[in-house]
Amino acid sequence: MPNRDLTSSADLTEHDKGTGAMRSQRPVYADFLPPCNNACPAGENIQAWLALAQAGEFKKAWLELVKNNPMPSIHGRVCYHPCEDVCNRAFTDSTVSIHAVERFLGDMALEQDWKLPKGKKSSGKRILVIGAGPSGLSAAYQLTRMGHSVEIRDAGPVAGGMIHFGIPAYRMPRKELQAEIKRIEDMGVKMTLNHRIEDVLAEKKAGNFDAVFVAVGAHISKNIQIPTRDASKILDAVSFLSSAQRGEPPKIGRRVAIYGGGNTAMDAARTAKRLGAEEAIIIYRRDRSSMPAHDFEADEAIEEGVKINWLRTIKEIDEGTFKVEVMELNEEGRPQPTGKFETLEADSLILAIGQDTDTKFLANVPGIEFKEDHTVVVDESMQTGHPGIFAGGDMVPSDRSVTIAVGHGKQAARHIDSYLNNTVYHTKKRHQLVGHEKLQLWFRTAAPKVEQERLPVADRTHSFDEIMKNLSEADALFEAKRCLSCGNCFECDGCYGACPEGAIIKLGPGKRYRFNFDLCTGCAVCYEQCPCHAIEMIPEPGSKRKKV
């Protein structure tokens, strides 16, 4: 239903409410946008699949979920779930653990070998996807569903991109990662690994491809100049994590320093502990409130014995001695030097100050433009300045996360499909967002979320075993039922039972209700009884007041 300029009953005076023989307003059923759906970078219809899950229809819930995201087992683990940050349930007790239910569905699908939905009839079109990370995999999946033939080519030895090379196994076990990737391959996506592309246009021509989607990610660690006598003691975080994943970790010594304050810094420190470092010390030039890492990442690192030195910056290294300057924040929150110095001892330093993308191979493609940070400029359709070449994920100007990359892949697939069909894809207009203040939770009952079990701290630092445990079926069902269905009717019968005039007609399961306006007096009781705000009161059409 399109957005409308609606007047709520709170805006009407008691004289205008129409509780007598004259109706000045009428109720209408409306659909609104829940905040979880609005916040999901992958564009999942979270409320829809939660509704199916709470009914115990787990396979149907999974099928609804994978319309937008083919990798729920992965995302249930590595997504930082911005959907939960805005969940209206927080104003009742605690947010719905959306990521945990998503992981439950994803793991159940793998255990029971559920298949991804088949695509449309072959279009005869061929698309080259460069990069087998989350954005490339997402685009390949969506394009295959549209009936196109897709081939992914990647320079690495395994698919998964930074999910595989940058996220440790204690957060993302490789069994589930590769299983969800294989399921995309099983749809007919051809995967060619260990294939570095140097000339995109030549590759496109040789393969007779109709379009190209480039999603090579950001695999190159940023560098920083620190005066040192022994550069061999300095490692970059991405290479360190990748070598640890391959089972070929470098020698880091007993005491390791990590420079940076992001999630990669936390992963590097925790990985160093698992590789035998007795001490792992994170050095970060701002305070915790300014830290780019998520709070739970820092909390888990501290639980595992990682030390964090806030408001510190490394000035120079003399063999195993680090000269560190104490910083302070100015009024704008920027770190400023104080001239005070400390020393610390460390056997090696891991730099975790961000990643760059290697886009040099696109430099000779006519029309493609770059930002100062080497990211590729794209338009609203994810297309570069060269017709038929699209780009997404970490290599375009945007925030960076696995889920954002998946959303880019889906968005690019829609525009590539339109490009191949000589049409223009138009994003559907969204419904109006519904906030917690519009809910009328007359049935409000505290039911705090189920906490996922975690591996005990004492058992973590000696292995890469997964820390977070899956929900049981009973807990997943309970958690799904905590969803308030914000802004959309879930057929609770509140309006039906509350109407004093019998003006509400039930249309059957899944069909909701309709109003009999010959009986309706516009009293707004149904509006006041609707817990999820799926009813609005609007002025009576046609005249200011209407006899009933």
Find the radius of gyration of the CA atoms of the chain. Answer: 27
Q: Are 197 and 153 in contact (CB under 8 A)?
A: yes
Question: For 293-297, which contacts have Cβ atoms below 8 Å and span 24 or more sequence positions?
Answer: 293/261, 293/262, 293/263, 293/265, 293/266, 294/80, 294/263, 297/263, 297/266, 297/267
Whole-number Å distance between alpha carbons of 10 and 537 = 9
Residue of higher predicted confidence among 362 and 319: 362
Q: Is 352:368 a contact under the CB 8 Å cutoff?
A: no
Tell me the mean pLDDT in the region 59-77: 98
In this predicted structure, the answer to whether residue 13 has a pLDDT above a threshold of 50 is: no
Q: Would you give the distance in Å from CA 449 to the centre of its chain?
A: 20
Do residues 503 and 515 lie in contact, with contact meaning Cβ atoms separated by under 8 Å?
A: yes
Q: Report the chain's mean pLDDT, rounded to a whole number.
A: 92
Hey, what domains does the chain have and what are their CATH numbers? 9-31+489-547 (3.30.70.20), 35-114+440-481 (1.10.1060.10), 126-219+357-420 (3.50.50.60), 240-354 (3.50.50.60)
The crossing angle, in degrees rounded to 10, of helices 473-481 and 46-54 is: 120
Q: Which residues lie closer than 8 Å to 329 by C-beta, 6 or more apart?
A: 286, 287, 290, 311, 335, 336
Percent of the chain with pLDDT over 70: 94
Looking at the DSSP bridge assignments, the partners of residue 370 are 376
Upper half-sphere CA count for residue 308 (Cβ side, 13 Å): 25
Q: Which residues pair with 309 in a beta bridge?
A: 283
Number of helices and strands in the chain (H, E): 17, 21
pLDDT tens digits for 302-344? Answer: 999 999 999 999 999 988 899 999 999 998 889 999 999 999 9
* pLDDT score for 79: 96
Apex 395 CA angle, 390 and 396, nearest 5: 65
Alpha-helix residue ranges (DSSP H) falling in 351-508: 402-420, 473-481, 494-498
- pLDDT (0 to 100) of residue 543: 53
How confident is the model at residue 17, as a pLDDT? 45
pLDDT in tens, 237-254: 999 999 998 889 999 999
Tokens representing 372 are 């100062």
CA dist., res. 385 & res. 377, Å (int): 8
**CA neighbor of 140 nearest in space, from 180, 110, 111:** 180
* Cα torsion 214, 220, 222, 225: sign: negative
For the chain, the residue count is 548
SS3 335: strand
Lowest-pLDDT range of 8-22, 373-387, 446-460: 8-22
Confidence of residue 225 (pLDDT cuts 50, 70, 90): confident
**pLDDT exceeds 60 at position 218:** yes
Q: Which of 316, 318, 311 is nearest to 338 (CA)?
A: 311
Dump pLDDT digits (tens) for 253-281.
999 999 999 999 999 999 999 999 999 99
Would you say residue 416 has pLDDT above 60? yes
For residue 48, is pLDDT > 90?
A: yes
Highest mean pLDDT (candidates 10-14, 210-214, 372-376, 456-460): 210-214
